[in-house]
Chain A
Amino acid sequence: MKSYNRISEIQADLQSGHISCLDLVRSYLENIRLNSHLNAFLEVWEEEALRRAAQTDENIRAGKMQKLSGVVIALKDVLAYKNHKVSASSKILEGFESLYSATAVQRLEDAGAIFIGRTNCDEFAMGASNENSAFGPVLNAADETRVPGGSSGGSAVAVQAGMCHVALGTDTGGSIRQPASFTGVYGLKPTYGAVSRWGLLAYASSFDQIGSFCRSVEDIEWIYNCIAGPDDQDSTVSVNHKTLPFEKGSGKYHFAVMEEAIHHPGLNEDVRSMIKTAIANLEKAGHRVSYFRFPLLEYMVPAYYVITTAEASSNLSRYSGLLYGKRSTAAVDLESTFVASRTEGFGTEVKRRIMLGTFVLSSDYYDAYYKKALQVRALIRQKTLEILDGCDAILIPTTSSPAFKIGEKAKDPIAMYLADLFTVQANLAGVPAISVPFGKSSENLPMGLQLITGLFEEQKLFALSETLMSVAE
């Protein structure tokens, strides 16, 4: 089976009868089998996918091609899909089956997509390497001794290794863009409030957004258009704003580069030379590149961890062992039901973040940590929007290095947290951002570049992503 980068190509070949949807699904299933050691999938819905593929072939023969007919999608294991298991890669949701589908998942299904399985991730989406899953790490297909990034590592690898065409992920501080960068695929985090979070197992509610991993900008846009928009089930989806239209105009754009990022002492030399190449090539093609200073860069990760852990400690209080999920066999009274079920059910990183969040929200420290972080967040958002007012997009590396080795940062939470250095800004500010697979390191590892645009400027983001990729070598 040919390897497709675009939904439009798949649908053209299905329409002409060149391939069948059944053959397509079989080829993904074969790739899943061949790559099972990468541990990207927690569950494969083989029979259902084949049944739906046969139905899709029948529909296409009857002249009914839908927007996502023939598009085979994997779901990160934090997205609810009716009557299917969802576990957030945690033991605390052992055996849990969702009673309903996430809005984003429902919209894809209604548009004709085929779901092939649910993908491994860091437990409750907390991590940057996929090593925090209760079901083992995911391996990077570009180098199996390296991490795929996280938290949506399984989704990234599923697209990277051809185990599906598209995968949904979620991005709280970089959980789509960082693994996209490490695996050489495209990954989008939409504007906060663009996509409904209904049916997304919450980590940090003022940060979380659902987005996709794809093999082209065209597909990123296609999927975004299917899942974005108001939803009665999530009042934080904007009712005042829609994705802004974007006229391509002269096609010459203004990219703004963060000085602190390109001169960062922790920046890998291959990443530095990639962004320099991008800048030179953009200028050669007639685009404008300017530089800005952002002294708040070093406060982004601290602000992010204070606020997200506070939100996580509150969100994860629902896992009590009472109504669903795991209940410890040591539960003899109400208190031990809570304590034993949570202590046995949650992994180390999840407990660490719950404890940190409990600390920053406790009455003695609330003002000094939590409120302070919310104030710093306000400044970061304001300064970010000011920069974006004066340019078309911010251009920075997605990550400070290519994929690191499995185990390299596992013992040092702070080193792991700094893996989010360049990605948390978009989540703190609520703006959309994309990682595009721009280059390869000297060790032939994928490296991504990140573009950030203003609130609800996804259409502009897609146009500029095409522009950026047109100058890649």
Chain B
Amino acid sequence: MKITGEKVDQLAKLARLSFEGEEKEAIRNDLENILEMCEKLNEVDTNGVEPLIYMTDNVNVLRNDEVKQEITHEEALKNAPKKDSDFFRVPKVIGQQND
């Protein structure tokens, strides 16, 4: 699978990452090589094989719907990179130009 610089940009946008210059060429090259290794899978005849999605045979494992205080308001904010006494602080989201 040929990976173009454009494809790298498109994937990076989806993954919320950014690659510039040498790093971009390196990731392009790595993706191409790794995908080539993965394309070996096409040699395996998988006609009629159901994809394996669930690793256990558990179905609908439910627990009682009980209200529990697992963490406090203060604890929830403990690891916030920016906060005030009540809320997570984030850069302004509404009212700016977005593409």
Residue pair B18, A356 in contact (C-beta under 8 Å): no
| Contacts A337-B90, A358-B11, A371-B51 given; does A306 touch B41 at CB 8 Å | yes
Q: Which of B33, B53, B93 contacts A414 (CB 8 A)?
A: B33
Identify which of A172-180, A325-333, A400-408 touches chain B.
A325-333
Does A323 lie within 8 Å of B27, measured CB to CB? no
Total residues of chain B contacting the partner, CB 8 A? 52
**Given A302-B40, A413-B33, A358–B90 Cβ distance below 8 Å?**
no
Question: Which of B27, B33, B46, B56 contacts A375, CB < 8 Å?
Answer: B46
Chain A residues positioned under 8 Å from B43 (CB to CB):
299
Task: Please indicate the chain A residues that have their CB under 8 angstroms from the CB of B37 in the complex.
Answer: 301-302, 305, 414, 417
Cβ of B81 under 8 Å from chain A: yes
Q: Which of A301, A322, A326 has the most CB atoms of chain B within a 10 A radius of its CB?
A: A322
Q: Which residues in B have their C-beta under 8 angstroms from that of A331?
A: 91
CA separation between A352 and B19, bound complex, in Å?
11
- B41 to A372, Cβ gap below 8 A? yes
Q: Tell me if A379 and B49 are in contact (CB < 8 A).
A: yes
The answer to whether A298 touches B91 (Cβ under 8 A) is no
Interchain CA distance A376-B50 in the complex, whole Å: 9
Interface size on A, residues (CB 8 A): 69
Tally A-B pairs: CB < 8 A.
163
A224 to B39, CA, bound (A): 38
> Which listed segment binds B: A44-52, A232-240, A278-286?
A232-240
**Is B61 interfacial (CB-CB < 8 Å)?**
yes
- Point out the residues of chain B lying under 8 angstroms from A239, CB to CB: 58, 61
B67 at the interface (CB under 8 A from A): no
Contact at A97–B79, with CB atoms within 8 Å? yes
Known: A331-B91, A333-B96, A342-B16. A324 touches B80 (CB 8 A): yes
Residues of A within 8 A of B39 (CB): 302
Interface hits, B46-75 → A, CB 8 Å = 46, 49-58, 61, 63, 70-71, 75
Q: Is the CB of B38 within 8 A of A333?
A: no
Closest to A93 in B: B79
Pair B44/A296 contact, Cβ less than 8 Å: yes
Chain A, residue nearest B72 (CB): A99
Q: Given A99-B75, A333-B92, A354-B17, A359 and B31 touching (CB < 8 A)? A: yes
Closest 9 CB pairs of A and B: A374-B51, A327-B81, A324-B79, A375-B46, A378-B52, A235-B61, A338-B16, A375-B49, A193-B56
A-B contact pairs, 14 of them (CB 8 A): A236-B55, A298-B40, A305-B37, A305-B38, A335-B16, A337-B90, A338-B16, A340-B18, A343-B17, A343-B18, A354-B15, A356-B34, A379-B44, A413-B30
Interface residues in chain A, defined as those with a beta carbon under 8 Å from any beta carbon in chain B: 95-97, 99-100, 192-193, 206, 232, 235-236, 238-240, 296, 298-299, 301-303, 305-306, 313, 317, 320-327, 331-340, 342-343, 346, 351-352, 354-356, 358-360, 362, 369, 371-379, 381, 413-414, 417, 430
